[in-house]
Amino acid sequence: MLYDLAARIQQARSQDMFTQGALGSDSASNGRQTEIEEICRDALHRFIERIQIAPARIEADPTGTIARSLAATVNSWGCVDLSTPAYQKRFAAAVGITTLVFRHTRLETQAYIAVYAFLAICLDDLAVPEDALVAFAPRLLAGAPQGHWVLARFVAHLGAAPRLFAPFSVAAMVSCTVQFVNSTLLDRMGAVRLTPGSLPYVHYKRAINGVGEAFALFAWEAERFPDSSRYLQILPDLCRFMEYANDILSFYKEELAGEQDNFVHDIMAVSGLDAPQVLSDLVDAAVKTVQRARIVLQDSEELKVFESMLEGYIAFHFTVSRYRLREIYSMPPSPK
């Protein structure tokens, strides 16, 4: 059976145009781009139609309050130059995801989320020394100084979480952040050569490399939701939705860039499935998370928050130009 699976994987790789790297400029590349567009457009339309959340034209941070707050905080650190193009993109992404996905929360909470999002994006982008990543958890437990400013700011920032969120949420945010740092270390140590049958590892890797649990819990302020019994029941599904939705909505721009270090390609590598089938399976899985959550939260204030988060999460990916989704999906006209 293992031999048969390996043979199917090899056959899929030899036939799949999606494993050939970045696009070139010849006619073959143009044909491949057209195929990518068609497959991604089909997956995107089915995803949006089935979750019943159309991309909305929502303005991120309409008053500029969160941008000013985040800029003041980052500038106070004295180690980041927000005038550089790279940091401007990280800054804009942090403000965007905060003010679109969590627009239902108080400004104080949004200001907190924006800082966390900025740090997470920086950790994902910057070349944090491997020795600093290795020592992160031991230094955290010992209360010792961290080896890089991003890690030090993460620790300090997590210390302020208890004034906004429930005890369980705070502990989960800390755990999730440690896992995120650990996944960054895993990536730094070199790619793991995936083998047939290692699909559970692929899902594990995806679960720890996106701080999904922290972002899922940011939605529920302790003051507004003192009873956590309802939203905790959808926490696993909300985490999975944010992961799968991001993989679906990111795949088009990643495929055009020839990026293969992602969840879709990892599944392809261990299953022998092609990209259209993997995307179809991810759409099915994402839809099921939404369906289950709506059943659990029916007729509740938590459901309103959940729907607002979904709408904001979809809007964020359509608002940020790097996802290029407007190339394959027609946005509704702006309201007059």
Convert 180-213 to b/e letters by CB count within 10 Å (16 or more is b): bbbbbbeeeeeeeebebebeeebeebbbbbbbbb
Give the pTM: 0.89
Q: CA–CA separation, 69 vs 71, rounded Å?
A: 5
Superfamily of domain 31-53+166-321, CATH level 4: Farnesyl Diphosphate Synthase (1.10.600.10)
Instruction: Check: CB of residue 70 under 8 Å from CB of residue 105.
Output: no
Q: Give the span between the Cα atoms of 148 and 143, in whole angstroms.
A: 15
**Contact in structure between 96 and 319 (CB atoms under 8 Å):** yes
Cα first-last separation, the chain: 60
Answer yes or no: are the C-beta atoms of 193 and 9 closer than 8 Å: no
Contact 17, 221 (CB under 8 A): no
3-state SS assignment for residue 334:
coil
In a structure prediction context, what are the per-residue pLDDT tens digits for the chain, which is 336 residues long?
Answer: 333 433 343 444 444 445 444 445 555 567 778 899 999 999 999 999 999 998 988 999 999 999 999 999 999 999 999 999 999 999 999 999 999 999 999 999 999 999 999 999 999 999 899 999 999 999 999 999 999 999 999 999 999 999 999 999 999 999 999 999 999 998 888 778 899 999 999 999 999 988 999 999 999 999 999 999 999 999 999 999 999 999 999 999 999 999 998 999 999 999 999 999 999 999 999 999 999 999 999 999 999 999 999 999 999 999 998 899 999 998 766 554
With a CB cutoff of 8 Å and minimum separation 6, the contacts of 139 are 145, 146, 147
Angle at which helices 301-319 and 85-101 pack, to 10 degrees? 150
The domains of the chain are located at 31-53+166-321
User: Burial level of 77, CB count in 10 A (0-12/13-18/19+)?
Assistant: exposed
Contact 102, 312 (CB under 8 A): yes
The CB density around residue 328, as the number of other CB atoms within 10 Å, is 17
Compute the chain's Rg from CA coordinates.
20
**200 contacts 169 by C-beta, under 8 angstroms:** no
**Dist CA 45 CA 50 (whole Å):** 8
Distances (CA, A) of 291 to 28, 76, 215: 41, 43, 20
